[in-house]
Amino acid sequence: MPRSSKPGWIDWVNSAAREIILEDLLPGGYLFGKNDMPASTAWNYYRDMAEFKGPPVVFDQFEARLKDHRKQASKRLEISRNERKMMQHDRNIYPEQHQNHRGELVFSRHPAQKHLRADIKASRHKSMTPMQLHASRPEYKEFKLGVFKQRISQEIRRQKFVYYLEDKQFEKRRQYSEEVAKKKEKEEAKKQKMAEKEAQKVQQVEAKKKRREEAKKRKMAEKEAQKVQQEEAKKRRLAEKVARKKEQEEAKKRKMAEKAAKKKEAKKRRIA
């Protein structure tokens, strides 16, 4: 399936969300046998899971992919049912044999297989010898020790392979989680950088505004000082003008007094 180019849609094929949906469509899963469940109801169940948040899965993509996977699961289930029917038909014609052509019990059809799987899973084979394990259950004793040893080795290999598949799936999810965490960290760093850049821009705007206000204040102060100087110069000119006028009046009075004195002196001389 090619990667979608629709806005908001993620790389679904390589997502952990896809793995969860595929698992839950299997028998025992949340979605198994619930094809009539609306996508919105399923979405409410999955939307808060970490695998659906990073990268975020949108509902439109979830609905489309769920529809596709349900069709695929239904086809696989139908094939499986047909195969079981065919197998049951063959079993009816050729009944399952609990013994082989040599008259030996078939281990895979015997309850001993179930017990052996449980014992291997519980690691009993590590604390007991094959002979001791063989003697620990009556079901085991129905088989020869040599055959039982082979079944022990076979079951160990089988469980190792199962663990390998589980580890592989776990590793895939772990890697995906790390990728999501790295991407989230990168996005957070990007957001922080943008926030710092925005804060720096705001600081620059504020600093520019402050410089403009300070320049305006200085200009007003200079204008006010200039106005005061002009007022003082005007006052000085007026004072000088008043002083000159007073001086002129004083000179005029002296001149008139001198003239009167001369006139009085001349009159005295004529009388004499």
What pLDDT is recorded for position 185?
Answer: 86
Mean pLDDT in each 10-residue stretch from start to end of the chain (272 residues)?
70 85 87 89 88 85 91 87 84 70 78 91 91 92 90 90 83 78 86 92 92 93 92 91 90 89 84 74
The one-character DSSP state at 97 is P
Q: Give CA–CA dist 30/20, Å, rounded.
A: 10
Q: Enumerate residues 6+ apart whose C-beta is below 8 A from 128.
A: 136
- Cα dist. 7→3, 11, 243 in Å? 12, 12, 90
What pLDDT is recorded for position 218?
Answer: 93
Nearest Cα residue to 51 out of 187, 169, 191, 188 = 169
What pLDDT is recorded for position 101?
Answer: 67
**What tokens were used for 201?**
């821009």
What pLDDT is recorded for position 169?
Answer: 78
- For residue 270, being part of any structural domain is answered with no
Cα 17 from chain centroid (whole Å):
15
Q: Give CA–CA dist 251/245, Å, rounded.
A: 10
Q: Enumerate residues 6+ apart whose C-beta is below 8 A from 105.
A: 98, 99, 142, 143
Hey, what amino acid is at 185?
Answer: E
What pLDDT is recorded for position 205?
Answer: 92
Q: Which residues, listed in sequence order, are joined to residue 56 by a DSSP beta bridge? A: 53
- For residue 3, being part of any structural domain is answered with yes
- For residue 207, being part of any structural domain is answered with no
Q: Which residues, listed in sequence order, are joined to residue 105 by a DSSP beta bridge? A: 99
Q: Give the domain extent around 21.
A: 1-95
142 within 8 A of 105, measured Cβ to Cβ: yes
Alpha carbons within 13 angstroms on the beta-carbon side of residue 4 total 17
- For residue 234, being part of any structural domain is answered with no
- For residue 141, being part of any structural domain is answered with no
**What tokens were used for 145?**
């020790």
Q: What is the tally of structural domains in the chain?
A: 1
Q: Enumerate residues 6+ apart whose C-beta is below 8 A from 253.
A: none
Q: Is this model's pTM higher than 0.75 or not? A: no
- For residue 38, being part of any structural domain is answered with yes
- For residue 43, being part of any structural domain is answered with yes
116 within 8 A of 104, measured Cβ to Cβ: no
- For residue 58, being part of any structural domain is answered with yes
